[in-house]
Chains A and B, each alone.
Chain A
Amino acid sequence: MRVLYKNLWRRAACVLLLLVAGVSLSADWLAPEGYAREYREETSAPPSRQHWLGTDEIGRDRFARVLYGTRISLLLAPAAALLSTFMAAFIGGLAGHLGGAWARTAMAVTDLFLAMPWLFLLITVRAMMPLNLSPMISVLITFLLLGMLGWTSAARVLCATAGSLRDSDFVRQARASGIRSSRLFWIHVLPNLKPVLYAQFWISIPVFILSEANLGILGLGVAEPMPSWGSLLKELEGLISIGDEPWKFVPLVLLVIVVTSFQLVLSDQEQVAA
């Protein structure tokens, strides 16, 4: 019965994720005016038939911005997760496969990164970007940084897994038959790391979505006028009470739904990744 409920929740989460992704991908059709158009005569307007979620302080349609922002966050967080998984596979997997001094050095570098709180590291590096970045470049840099700095914990797990494979019978046999180390890694070790790699990839997505949101609220995320969940949540900064303008919470509600759905879908993946 418990398994049935678990599967039911997981399916519901999958449907929700697909629904949110589907709606955000059809942003061009649902909000053809785009996210940057300013309705100057309707600044800070409440929800209406024309603007379903009202407008922001410079008159941009909030519904359009939520749709485009969701698309950016939902497309680029997996891209960053893919990059970090590749880096983790390359650094951690290879270090574990080679062992010895290579593994020790790679793990020392990993420990170095892990010694600094994640948000602190992100803020430090993100703040070093030029001031006059174009919005598109700022989007790319934000998610590129997430990918390039988020590989460390995954690398540690992959190094341990690859290290355990190094002493396995099939790897010893392959080595004894004279196979080159690089070929051994690509043909025999890497395919065996796949379950951990998949798990790390999926686990990284909600982490990166939340990190981008944190950066956005702190003013270090995606540059205006490009929307993302982070930049949309920055609007909450000027709020005096929740009851006054509840529609401003829509990006937050959407973010919580998506991250919760990911957690429900990934409840088993976490055990694989550990």
Chain B
Amino acid sequence: MLWRKLARHASVLIATVLLGGLLSAILVRLAPGFDVDELQLDPRLNAESIHAIRESRQGERNILRFYFHSLERAFHGDLGTSLSLQQPVSTLLRERGPLTLRLVGMGLLLSWTLAMAMALSAAWLRIPAYDALSTILSGAFLCLPAAVLALFAVLWNVPGSLAIALIVFPRVYRYARNLLAKAYSMPHIIMARAKGLSELRVLFWHVVPVVAPQLLAVAGVSVSIAVGAAIPVEALCGFAGVGQLAWQAALSRDLPLLLNITVLVTLVTLLANSSADVIGHVLGGRQA
């Protein structure tokens, strides 16, 4: 059963990643302005040079041919060359990947720690004022654009991972708080607390098994939010990561780079969601 689920997830993942890359390439190709290159606006260039620039992009005109050719090369380890940075895409991703991984990883860790600490204390204490205060705090962060939090991170010289954490935190907190509040109002948990079981024992023996599958699903989604948040944070804080690379690729209409980043981002978010789903399935199976 588990193997079947894993195989289904793997096939859906591969199909979605491939289609995601194709979709990105089609969107880029069909969007007006695909042929417009900043270089063409350079007044120093003569007509011949502008024509040569246009000709150099002819290979990308047939999007299907371009996409399948890119896929074929990717299977051989060649991800193409960035048009704007004139460097192999694989080198760029290898150089910038670890920084983004660190930023997103730390951001997720911080946001989950903060969200769970606040959600758990709200469920344990059951003080309306504390609950209202934490809800207002998370709501305030929810009302701020991710890019503004990134700007504040620059202004106050705080780590970028903290900015990512504050972007992810309110989303996680809202779900966690609601889930925990619901779990703590279940009759068997009320009974366990009334009988004097320690809070930690109630949490790990009775609450966690109830909320774990849903929290795992939220964990999968939070990876996607954190990856999305990495773009403004890296772009505005000046971190040379994949998020900044995606922004630069989009601004310079760098199709090979954009295509590879889309595939990478889709792969990461799908892997996170699928892993959360499979772990939730395994945990659910054990409980049953």
CB contact between B27 and one of A128, A213, A260 (< 8 Å): that residue? A128
Q: Chain A residues near B36: list those with CB within 8 A.
A: 130-132
CB contact between B258 and one of A124, A131, A263 (< 8 Å): that residue? A124
Cα distance, A214 to B233, chains bound together (Å): 11
B247 touches A123 (CB 8 A): yes
B155 touches A239 (CB 8 A): yes
CB contact between B228 and one of A117, A129, A220, A237 (< 8 Å): that residue? A117
A129 touches B246 (CB 8 A): no
B145 touches A210 (CB 8 A): yes
Q: Chain A residues near B27: list those with CB within 8 A.
A: 124-125, 128
- A176 an interface residue at 8 Å Cβ cutoff? no
Of the candidates B139, B140, B250, the one having the most CB atoms from chain A within 10 angstroms of its own CB is: B250
Shortest distance in angstroms between B236's beta carbon and chain A's nearest beta carbon? 7
- A116 an interface residue at 8 Å Cβ cutoff? yes
Q: A124-B262, A131-B38 are in contact. Are A119 and B32 (CB under 8 A)?
A: no
A131 touches B33 (CB 8 A): yes
8 Å CB contacts to A: which residues of B129-176?
A: 139-140, 142-148, 151, 155
- B200 an interface residue at 8 Å Cβ cutoff? no
CB contact between A131 and one of B41, B155, B236 (< 8 Å): that residue? B41
B231 touches A115 (CB 8 A): no
A116 touches B269 (CB 8 A): yes
Q: Chain B residues near A260: list those with CB within 8 A.
A: 139-140, 143
A129 touches B266 (CB 8 A): no
Nearest neighbor of B15 in chain A, beta-carbon distance: A108
Q: A120-B265, A123-B247 are in contact. Are A128 and B228 (CB under 8 A)?
A: no
A129 touches B32 (CB 8 A): yes
Interface flags, B75-98, vs A, CB<8A=1, else 0 = 000000000000000000000000
Nearest neighbor of B227 in chain A, beta-carbon distance: A117
Q: Chain B residues near A128: list those with CB within 8 A.
A: 27-28, 31-34, 250, 253
- A224 an interface residue at 8 Å Cβ cutoff? no
- A241 an interface residue at 8 Å Cβ cutoff? yes
Nearest neighbor of A259 in chain B, beta-carbon distance: B143
8 Å CB contacts to A: which residues of B242-280?
A: 246-247, 250-251, 253, 258, 262, 265-266, 269-270
Shortest distance in angstroms between B21's beta carbon and chain A's nearest beta carbon? 10
Interface of A is mostly: helix
Nearest neighbor of A252 in chain B, beta-carbon distance: B148
- B23 an interface residue at 8 Å Cβ cutoff? yes
Q: A120-B265, A217-B145 are in contact. Are A115 and B16 (CB under 8 A)?
A: yes
A112 touches B41 (CB 8 A): no
Shortest distance in angstroms between B225's beta carbon and chain A's nearest beta carbon? 7
B232 touches A119 (CB 8 A): yes
Q: Chain A residues near B20: list those with CB within 8 A.
A: 112, 115-116
Cα distance, A242 to B143, chains bound together (Å): 19
- B19 an interface residue at 8 Å Cβ cutoff? yes
Cα distance, A252 to B246, chains bound together (Å): 26
Cα distance, A123 to B38, chains bound together (Å): 18
Q: Chain B residues near A219: list those with CB within 8 A.
A: 251
Q: Chain A residues near B34: list those with CB within 8 A.
A: 128
Interface flags, B30-71, vs A, CB<8A=1, else 0 = 011110101001000000000000000000000000000000
Q: Chain A residues near B228: list those with CB within 8 A.
A: 117-120
- B24 an interface residue at 8 Å Cβ cutoff? yes
Cα distance, A121 to B197, chains bound together (Å): 49
Shortest distance in angstroms between B242's beta carbon and chain A's nearest beta carbon? 10
Interface flags, A96-128, vs B, CB<8A=1, else 0 = 000000000000000111011111100111111
Shortest distance in angstroms between A241's beta carbon and chain B's nearest beta carbon? 7
A117 touches B147 (CB 8 A): no
Shortest distance in angstroms between B132's beta carbon and chain A's nearest beta carbon? 10
Nearest neighbor of A117 in chain B, beta-carbon distance: B228
A218 touches B269 (CB 8 A): no
Interface flags, A114-156, vs B, CB<8A=1, else 0 = 0111111001111111111000000000000000000000000
Interface flags, A193-233, vs B, CB<8A=1, else 0 = 00000000000001000100110011110000000000001
- B100 an interface residue at 8 Å Cβ cutoff? no
Q: Chain B residues near A8: list those with CB within 8 A.
A: none
CB contact between A130 and one of B16, B33, B140, B225 (< 8 Å): that residue? B33
- B111 an interface residue at 8 Å Cβ cutoff? no
Q: Chain A residues near B231: list those with CB within 8 A.
A: 117, 119-120, 123, 218
- Beyond the given pairs A214-B232, A256-B140, 14 more chain A to chain B contacts, judged by CB atoms under 8 angstroms and listed by A's residue number, are A117-B224, A117-B225, A117-B228, A117-B265, A119-B146, A123-B246, A128-B34, A129-B31, A210-B146, A213-B148, A214-B147, A217-B236, A233-B148, A252-B144
Q: Can you pick out 13 interface pairs between chain A and chain B where the beta carbons lie within 8 Å of each other? A: A116-B265, A117-B224, A117-B227, A119-B229, A123-B231, A124-B27, A124-B28, A125-B27, A213-B147, A218-B232, A218-B235, A255-B143, A259-B142
Give residues in A with beta carbon < 8 Å to B. Answer: 111-113, 115-120, 123-132, 206, 210, 213-214, 217-220, 233, 236-237, 239-242, 252, 255-256, 259-260, 263
Give residues in B with beta carbon < 8 Å to A. Answer: 16, 19-20, 23-24, 27-28, 31-34, 36, 38, 41, 139-140, 142-148, 151, 155, 224-225, 227-229, 231-232, 235-236, 246-247, 250-251, 253, 258, 262, 265-266, 269-270
